[in-house]
């Protein structure tokens, strides 16, 4: 009996000891697994970021090569046409509102202003600045805050609390029709005599 009790006691002690060792060892294993997983994930992230950086560098290199080849082609064409093309493209990039591209830098003069029912409703001239950010109406500059195009071909400029100005092209951008409270007047880039 004593022998079986001691064997039983040894088995219980071994089981308790193995449980204690297992209990202590398991968190260490879990944290090691977490560390290994974290390291693997961070390495993957580093590899992916390196790949995307390489892709971006390759695409930048391709675009710069394309730009270089296109600029070389444009240089091989006649000098005057390439100059006019580059001046137009740089001119377009400077205009704040693309809808005003055809009108910027031009001064429009009222044609037969005195024949209007209320001539004081119409300025003698107006100019949209070359950057498209302001309009000069009879010498007074108004900043343009928005541009709207309407279905009837009208372009409406607005800014400040009360500034609104509407016009539409008549055949070409060199001749426009200005509307003010239901009254219309034609303007042209050619100064009337």
- pLDDT of residue 126 exceeding 60: yes
CATH fold, domain 98-188, is: Lipocalin (2.40.128)
Contact 148, 165 (CB under 8 A): no
Residue 94 has pLDDT above 60, yes or no: yes
Report whether 140 contacts 149 (CB < 8 A).
no
Q: pLDDT per residue over 59-71, tens digit each?
A: 665 555 444 444 4
| Residue-level pLDDT at 64 | 53
d(CA 93, CA 104): 12
- Listed range (21-30, 84-93, 110-119) with the worst mean pLDDT: 84-93
Could you tell me if 107 and 126 are in contact, meaning their C-beta atoms sit under 8 angstroms apart? yes
What mean pLDDT comes out for the span 1-15?
A: 83
The pLDDT tens digits of the residues spanning 15-49 come to 988 887 777 766 655 555 555 666 665 666 666 66
The whole-model pTM stands at 0.51
Nearest to 85 by CA among 68, 66, 65, 70: 70
In angstroms, the CA 132 to CA 94 distance is 8
Q: What is the pLDDT of residues 150-182, one digit of tens each?
A: 878 899 999 877 889 999 999 888 999 999 988
Rg (CA), the chain: 39
For the chain, what are the domain ranges? 1-76, 98-188
Asked whether the beta carbons of 113 and 119 are under 8 A apart, the reply is: yes
Question: Which pLDDT belongs to residue 71?
Answer: 46
């Amino acid at each position: 009996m004593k022998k079986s009790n001691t064997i039983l006691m040894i088995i219980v002690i071994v089981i308790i000891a193995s449980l204690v060792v297992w209990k202590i060892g398991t968190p260490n294993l879990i944290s090691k697994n977490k560390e290994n997983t974290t390291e693997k994930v961070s390495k993957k992230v580093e590899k992916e970021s390196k790949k995307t950086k390489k892709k971006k560098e390759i695409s930048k290199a391709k675009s710069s090569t394309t730009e270089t080849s296109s600029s070389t082609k444009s240089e091989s064409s006649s000098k005057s046409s390439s100059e006019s093309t580059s001046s137009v493209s740089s001119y377009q990039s400077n205009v704040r509102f693309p809808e005003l591209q055809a009108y910027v830098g031009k001064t429009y003069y009222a044609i037969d202003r005195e024949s209007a029912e209320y001539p004081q409703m119409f300025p003698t001239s107006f100019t949209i600045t070359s950057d498209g950010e302001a309009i000069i109406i009879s010498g007074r500059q108004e900043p343009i805050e928005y541009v709207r195009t309407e279905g009837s071909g009208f372009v409406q400029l607005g800014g400040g609390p009360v500034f609104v100005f509407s016009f539409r092209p008549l055949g070409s951008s060199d001749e426009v029709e200005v509307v003010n409270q239901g009254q219309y007047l034609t303007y042209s880039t050619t100064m009337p005599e």
